[in-house]
Chain A
Amino acid sequence: MYTEQVMDHFANPRNVGEIENADGIGEVGNAVCGDIMKMYIKVEDNVITDVKFKTYGCGSAIATSSIATEMIMGKTIEEALSLSNKAVVEALGGLPAHKIHCSVLAEQSIKAAIADYYTRQGIDPAPIVGVIPECEGGHCH
């Protein structure tokens, strides 16, 4: 069902954990749906210098969050904001159709962390990051 890349990131997830004194923390999803992603970022001079994640969810939820952390590490905020769920799916060599929402959550968790970073800086994130829905796809209860 899963590609080698998905299984690799699931079995050996990169950047798992928390960052103490993170500059931004974003959490999306909820327990009822069966997936929660929490992203921690450290930002210096507009560059993401460290990123860690914690995920409750299925194999692809863990794999998408893992690869997403790799894809934004060392990138500027703007570059990180431009990361699309599609790019995450491509980097994993594809996801089953009913797992695409995991990649959307990964994208949103990064946006949520950046929004939190902006808020802490006293900047309104809404015009930059946009609105992050509380729950992706409206499939929740």
Chain B
Amino acid sequence: MEKRFVYADNAATTKISKQVLEVMLPAMELYGNPSSLYALGSKSKQAIETARKQCADAIGADAKEIFFTSGGSEADNWAIKGAAARMEKLNKKHIISTAFEHHAVLHTLDALKKQGFEVTLLPVHENGIIRVDEFISALREDTGLVTIMFANNEIGTIQPIEQIGAICREKKIMFHVDAVQAVGNVHIDVKALNIDLMSVSGHKLHAPKGIGMLYIRKGVAIANLIDGGAQERGRRAGTENIASIVGFGKAMEIAANTVDSRIEKVTALRNRFIDGALKIERSRLNGDRDMRLCGNANVCFEGIEGESLLLMLDMQGICASSGSACTSGSLDPSHVLLAIGLPHEIAHGSLRITLTDENTIEDVDYILEKLPPIVDRLRQMSPLWEKIKKEENK
């Protein structure tokens, strides 16, 4: 097969789609301040409100419940810190989350712990899914917030959001969901799922970087994020990023309207990759095989280290990611892989391939052609692999 360029790191970020770009380019010229009274300003305002409606419709919300942010991390911070401020007024100090949240959630919770909040992180088990009975056992009288990701960013496992939502609503506990990875890859109806707060990021669904949103259910009181003008109903002040908002609205509309066909197509691609990759000896799939995002495959290869694997894939034109320590920029492998119980030496050898509907069978087959000889080459020079084989032959 000829050398190709295969972008298979869509959980990291996605390419801006043509349709999104098409609506953004003219929006770049909407320079009128949306808060201004004259027609030029109204035009900008209108563009923003159209996008807000698109975002709302995509998740079954009302436009008044959509608040634009700079992205997923900001939305997570706002939801959690804003809810915590509310909890203080209610004399509640317990928060429930999971061990493998995104750092935008985990580090925010760390900051709150320093302020006296108590946090329970639910275990995620080998399959990468929390257990509802363990969630119920973790509930306390003073639990004021539950924050659980819809689907994990590294291993793609989908959490029992509907069941958790029903329990939270019944107990009147605020329920925040980080849906950054899930939007466009699963059906989301915030009303049916009893979600109070939900974070979404634009650049994960073919919109640009620097735009996202927080859904705040009507009647849910959390502290404002930025004080200033009346933008975002006074809760997140600052003159709006019009073009990005317009692009984001379009991306949300497309994501929701095409979710069924995307799930069907991308699941087939992903399964093709998983089946092929697992033919490599001493490999394993991380996270539940079925309850995972349609585009996510996360596989470990024993005896090799993830960064060198990524570099060699890159030389073949393949963009992927890994949870090894070297790629995380820290000394430990990814907290997600450790949370599902992988030993360090196996977690170092992980490979994450994340596909979208822009990928093709040819892409997957190209990866499957290049991957086995690369793994083999790295293993041939690995003293760890030598040990593994010696143990095998004992």
Contact = CB atoms under 8 A, between A and B. Distances in A.
Interface string B171-195: 0000000000000000000000000
A16 interface: yes
B358 interface: no
The B interface, classified by DSSP as helix, strand, loop or mixed, is helix
A35 B306 CA distance: 11
Contacts of A16: 380-381
A33 B331 contact: yes
Given A16-B381, A56-B384, A34 B345 contact: yes
11 contacts: A7-B311, A13-B381, A16-B381, A31-B348, A31-B384, A35-B305, A54-B381, A58-B307, A59-B326, A98-B329, A141-B344
Give the interface residue-count category, chain B.
20 to 34
Contacts of A37: 383
Interface of A: 7, 10-11, 13, 16-17, 27, 31-38, 53-59, 61-62, 98-99, 139, 141
B222 interface: no
Nearest to B344: A32
B57 to A, nearest CB: 42
A116 B270 CA distance: 48
A58 B305 contact: yes
Interface of B: 303-308, 311-312, 315, 324-326, 329, 331, 333, 343-345, 348, 380-386
Nearest to B385: A56
Contacts of A27: 383
B315 A11 contact: yes
Given A31-B345, A34-B348, A59 B329 contact: no
Given A36-B382, A38-B383, A62-B381, 7 more contacts: A31-B344, A31-B348, A32-B343, A53-B381, A56-B385, A57-B308, A59-B326
A95 to B, nearest CB: 12
Contacts of B307: 58-59
Nearest to B345: A31
Nearest to A62: B308
Most buried by B among A7, A10, A58, A61: A58
Most buried by A among B311, B312, B324, B386: B311
A17 B380 CA distance: 8
A25 B171 CA distance: 64
Contacts of B329: 98
A13 B343 CA distance: 28
